[in-house]
Amino acid sequence: LPKEFQLALPVMAQIEQAGFEAYFVGGSVRDILLGHKIHDVDIATSAFPAEIKAIFPRTIDIGIEHGTVLVLHQDNQYEVTTFRTESTYQDFRRPDQVEFVRSLTEDLKRRDFTINAFALKDDGEIIDLFDGLMDLQEHVLRAVGNPHERFHEDALRMMRGLRFVSQLGFAFEIETFDAINENHALLEKISVERIYVEFSKLLLGKFRNQAIRFLVETECYLYCPGFRYYGEALLRFADLKPISFATAAQGWTVLFEQMGIGQNLIRPFLKKWKASNDLIQEVQALHWGLKVRQEQPLKSWEIYQLGLENSLAVEALTPFYNLVPAETEVKDIYAALPIKHLRELAINGNDLLQKFKLKPGKWLKEVLSQLEYLVVTGSLANDDTTLLAKAETLLADVKQD
Ligand code: ATP
Ligand code: MG
């Protein structure tokens, strides 16, 4: 067993000592079998949530209604979820009720793809009820059971499938693919938030191009906010170099370039996806930086405005435009900036107000930002005498306008 699982063995042992079954399940088992890095270790158990809470002194309720309790053990935490079935699905999304059961088989049957339906025992035995090991070896994504039924139960599974294509480079088994083709319209019932999570992961996958092609081919893209008229643009995006994005913001930036979504449409577009303000601002910055960078190398003023991280993120996108990344140059320019923030300017608004005895107004912001520009670009030394003297001549110009 790999280290991450070894660390969780005492948790498994305690559940078993209390008379219940416990298995490692989900993505971590799949990823270990693939030799990939794993992030979180999930445990499935025959114990009910209350029984788990009685066993462990430190737990957090993170989804009791779905049967999930977070167990804190030493410096780690484990999602421990009761075996469950998701019996009646009436609206193509989430089950009406989850029913806790004592049977592992029932729990594995409700999982989406065969490669996600393994259970791993603490002695290393793999329980593989649906020939997932074969699919893993053959790089196949196959729905557990009847794919039509499974996508009717929860249409998000189609988007999850596309996301796994992107992450793993697997291909859909033919019936699973046909079922996505036929049932794509069920995605209409799925909340934007859930689609957003999967699409974001899709953007970051190593096999993004293949996944985007399937997204268009199966017409699932029609149910992604704002994509309806951009099938062609998505296909162009899928023809770009197969370089992975380090962040979702980078992915959106390059996608918007292909779609011809300009600076002022970024916010409304991403709002439809319910993206966070942080992401929106990051995409706006990268989009601006990329436009500049396609014309000429980033200079001190742009690097100052973008900050180091976003400047480097822009450089990371240059290969898509057949440019050579200039990371070292960017780092050097950033390190040599006379100031990194406006607050580091030797004078501030108050200094200007006091010196000129004027009421605050537009002039103040204008003079300050001109001084900022001159200092950042190295045209003016950052000391108060120099800046106040320059402010005087700038002010004369501003007044004339
Ligand atoms: P990741 O590595 O991104 O976490 P994952 O496969 O672990 O991928 P999760 O969303 O963490 O995905 O879900 C854990 C497991 O729960 C999955 O491996 C799968 O067995 C099951 N699962 C999750 N969502 C669904 C769903 N919508 N339908 C059926 N089974 C699901
Ligand atoms: Mg997971």
Per-residue model confidence as pLDDT tens digits over 312-325: 999 999 999 999 99
Decide: helix, strand or coil at residue 231: helix
Residues facing residue 139 across a β-bridge: none
Domain extents in the chain: 1-131, 139-243, 245-337, 343-400
pLDDT digits (tens, 9 = 90+) for 224-243: 999 999 999 999 999 999 99
Mean pLDDT of 358-386: 94
Among the bound ligands, the one closest to the CA of 111: 1
Is residue 235 within 8 A of residue 194, CB to CB? The reply is no
pLDDT digits (tens, 9 = 90+) for 282-316: 999 999 999 999 999 999 999 999 999 999 999 99
Atom of ligand 1 minimally distant from the CA of 40: 4
Decide: helix, strand or coil at residue 399: helix
Residue range 343-400 forms a domain whose CATH class is mainly alpha
How far away, in angstroms, is 148 Cα from ligand 1 center?
A: 18
Atom of ligand 1 minimally distant from the CA of 153: 28
Is residue 139 within 8 A of residue 104, CB to CB? The reply is no
How far away, in angstroms, is 185 Cα from ligand 2 center?
A: 26
Phi, psi of 206 (to 5 degrees): -70, -30
- Residue 87: pLDDT band (50, 70, 90) is low
Q: Atom 1, ligand 1: which residue's CA is nearest? A: 27
pLDDT beyond 80 at 401: no
| Percent residues over pLDDT 90 in the chain | 91
Residue-wise burial string across 174-206, b where 16 or more C-beta atoms lie within 10 A, e elsewhere:
eebbebbeebbebbeebeeebbbebbbbbbbbe
Three-state secondary structure string covering 121-156 = CCCCCEECCCCHHHHHHHCEECECCCHHHHHHHCCH
pLDDT digits (tens, 9 = 90+) for 108-139: 999 999 999 999 999 999 999 999 999 999 99
Give the residues surrounding ligand 1 with Cβ less than 6 Å away.
26-27, 42, 111-112, 116-117, 154, 156-157, 160
How far away, in angstroms, is 25 Cα from ligand 2 center?
A: 9
- Residue 142: pLDDT band (50, 70, 90) is very high
Q: Atom 11, ligand 1: which residue's CA is nearest? A: 27
Mean pLDDT of 337-344: 96
Residue type, position 396, single letter: A
Examine domains 139-243 and 245-337 and report if their fold is the same: no
Mutate to test the pocket of ligand 1, among 112, 114, 198 (most ligand atoms within 8 A of CB): 112
pLDDT at 340: 97
Atom of ligand 1 minimally distant from the CA of 117: 20
Atom of ligand 1 minimally distant from the CA of 154: 27
Q: Which of 55-64, 251-260, 328-337, 391-400 has the lowest mean pLDDT?
A: 391-400
pLDDT beyond 70 at 95: no
How far away, in angstroms, is 220 Cα from ligand 2 center?
A: 23
Atom of ligand 1 minimally distant from the CA of 156: 27
pLDDT beyond 70 at 89: no
Mutate to test the pocket of ligand 1, among 111, 115, 159 (most ligand atoms within 8 A of CB): 111
Atom of ligand 1 minimally distant from the CA of 111: 30
Q: Provide long-range contacts, Cβ within 8 A and 24+ apart, for 319-324.
A: 319/241, 319/243, 320/240, 320/241, 320/243, 320/254, 321/290, 321/294, 323/293, 323/294
Mean pLDDT of 54-74: 94
DSSP run (H or E) holding 238? helix 231-238
pLDDT at 185: 98
- Mean pLDDT, the chain, whole residue set: 95
How far away, in angstroms, is 137 Cα from ligand 2 center?
A: 20
pLDDT beyond 70 at 216: yes
Atom of ligand 1 minimally distant from the CA of 31: 2
Cα distance between residue 73 and residue 31, in whole Å: 22
How far away, in angstroms, is 317 Cα from ligand 2 center?
A: 29
Q: What strands lie across the sheet with 76-82, from one edge to the other? A: 59-63, 68-73, 76-82, 42-45, 22-25, 119-120, 126-127
ipTM of the predicted structure? 0.99
pLDDT at 400: 65
Residue 245 is classified by DSSP as: P
Q: Which CATH number is associated with domain 139-243?
A: 1.10.110.30
pLDDT beyond 90 at 90: no
Among the bound ligands, the one closest to the CA of 30: 1
CATH entry, 1-131, from 3.60.21.10, 3.90.1150.10, 3.90.1300.10, 3.30.460.10: 3.30.460.10
pLDDT beyond 70 at 6: yes
Cα distance between residue 381 and residue 361, in whole Å: 25
How far away, in angstroms, is 373 Cα from ligand 1 center?
A: 50
Q: Which CATH number is associated with domain 245-337?
A: 1.20.58.560
